[in-house]
Structure 1
């Protein structure tokens, strides 16, 4: 069994590669630059760009299962989803997992309409997002400045997303399922910062901004990376930077029920409970220590 992992050097992909190797699978990793991919020993690295179907045929040759991500290197939803799925089917792949993003592109509908045994993975919020959101601020200071410090999230460890994908790809039996993946607890942003403080032995402060202050700060040059990613996922060219700020503020102020509801899907699929944010923070404590 050869399993193709797209996004193999990404937040989830690198964990998935490791999980599959531990299961004894033959792993092929799609990467735009195999020479700099730094993949584990035993992984076959193949060059290709998921957004350019003409580069993908060698990667799919002979694979029996594939892990797909629904976005390209610029975080925009894929426009060639139908072509990717056709290529996978022609190559003989029988099983596929799809890691969803902010919104569906062309990939998910094509997978659902195909003969593949497909499973869609929909994590709401990665624990790793706090590295992007807060890492620089905490390496250079002792506070996080954001609105809505009591907003809640059941964030999930990226290794648990990968564990679900590895189980599905290696064992099967989850065809047609869409899993809403969460961590084991719902935490506020304020509490997550406190847990990072406990992991690093630092006294950290959450300085709550008003929406008006957030609008002003987030609209300055050098915007927060998460806002840039959100904009990339939104394909409407009429959406402005100010629109994106308003969208994020609305999400923070009133998250929908789906985004704050715990599920047991990680344990249901893998047989083990999901990792806590405290575990994640301990693993990544060095990334939040003061310079």
Structure 2
């Protein structure tokens, strides 16, 4: 089977590609930088907003994974969010439909369903109406995917939680936030909570969908809903560090996030405080217990955090002191691997 993939050099995309290759499938990536793609895949050079590149990607492909997207709450990247997340989805899904691609898997996010009218979200939940730029762009992209499905196209939509895990090619948002916590840059936290999952579990979900192992139209990435207190307690348990913190109601921190976003437009380095991240904690709700996840169980979040911290240290993002006891009890696997092995992780 030939599987076309956008976003295959990103965090979730790279783990998914690895899972597909282990199953023996051919993979073709759409990549702006062909040199960033693994040598074991075909490459169609180009960008998701380029119709000609999208046609080259899906030509002759059996299925498509559209995982490309910008995931950031950085206030400087609003235009890029709309260009890639929304317009890119229009271009790629239209090309796949014209090419007669057998199945299209569009990667959304649980945040595209925020704020929710119900106490949990599931397959029947409507797309959210948040005006926060990242969530708004993902909601608009999901509407495009749902419109294609309503028109009869074989489109499945997945909703990953906030993803942690090892082997992150670009140190994405969630792994960068965990690093900031361990560097002591986030002593003040919004209350409420957020969904957290392991990138390897969501990669396995996508591999099952793309290879026909799990039919259906809407899926939720395996994960856990944690209060922010529970999340920080897990990080403390994984590292053996105290990590003092103060918790405040999310809406009390909105003015701080708003001011940080405006400062960020002039400040050259990324700030650890962002309005969008506070807004997610304020509006997030759990995924319904019966929401489909293609039979993929979420691994323990403590294992995920330990493994992520150990990888951050091995990649040079954390010192040994910052990583703490996670270095002696990490669960290590390669990108997208379904095999878990416990080993001593040395500095």
- Which residue in the other structure is 1:5 paired with? 5
Shift of the 217–156 alpha-carbon distance from structure 1 to 2, 3 Å rule, reads closer
CA shift, 1:126, in A, is: 2.7
- Say whether residues 1:265 and 2:292 are aligned partners: yes
CA shift, 1:31, in A, is: 1.3
Partners of 1:64 and 1:206 in 2: CA distance = 50
- Say whether residues 1:163 and 2:194 are aligned partners: no
Three-state SS of the structure 1 residue aligned to 2:299 is coil
Give CA deviations for 1:208-242 in whole Å, capped at 9, x if unaligned.
Answer: 24654562365132364784xxxxxxxxxxxxxxx
After TM superposition, the score normalised by the length of structure 2 is 0.65
Q: CA RMSD in A?
A: 3.0
- Say whether residues 1:280 and 2:307 are aligned partners: no
Three-state SS of the structure 1 residue aligned to 2:163 is coil
* Aligned ranges 1:77-156 → 2 under 5 Å: 77-79=85-87, 81-101=89-109, 102=135, 103-105=139-141, 107-127=144-164, 129-139=173-183, 141=184, 144-148=187-191, 151-156=192-197
* Aligned ranges 1:214-253 → 2 under 5 Å: 215-216=255-256, 219-220=259-260, 221-222=263-264, 224=271, 227=274, 245=275, 249=278, 251-253=280-282
- Which residue in the other structure is 1:57 paired with? 55
- Which residue in the other structure is 2:218 paired with? 178
Give CA deviations for 1:172-205 in whole Å, capped at 9, x if unaligned.
Answer: 5514x2113341x432222222222222232222
Partners of 1:145 and 1:218 in 2: CA distance = 15
After TM superposition, the score normalised by the length of structure 1 is 0.76
- Say whether residues 1:189 and 2:197 are aligned partners: no
Structure 2 stretches of 5 or more lacking a match? 72-79, 110-134, 166-172, 265-269, 313-317, 324-347
- Which residue in the other structure is 2:329 paired with? none
Matched length:
261
Shift of the 51–144 alpha-carbon distance from structure 1 to 2, 3 Å rule, reads farther
Three-state SS of the structure 1 residue aligned to 2:94 is helix
CA shift, 1:63, in A, is: 0.6
Give CA deviations for 1:231-274 in whole Å, capped at 9, x if unaligned.
Answer: xxxxxxxxxxxxxx3x7655534544xx45444533xx1x4421
Of 53, 62, 68, 2:66 maps to: 68
Three-state SS of the structure 2 residue aligned to 1:187 is strand
Partners of 1:216 and 1:173 in 2: CA distance = 44
Verify the 8 A CA contact 1:142 1:203 in the aligned structure 2: no
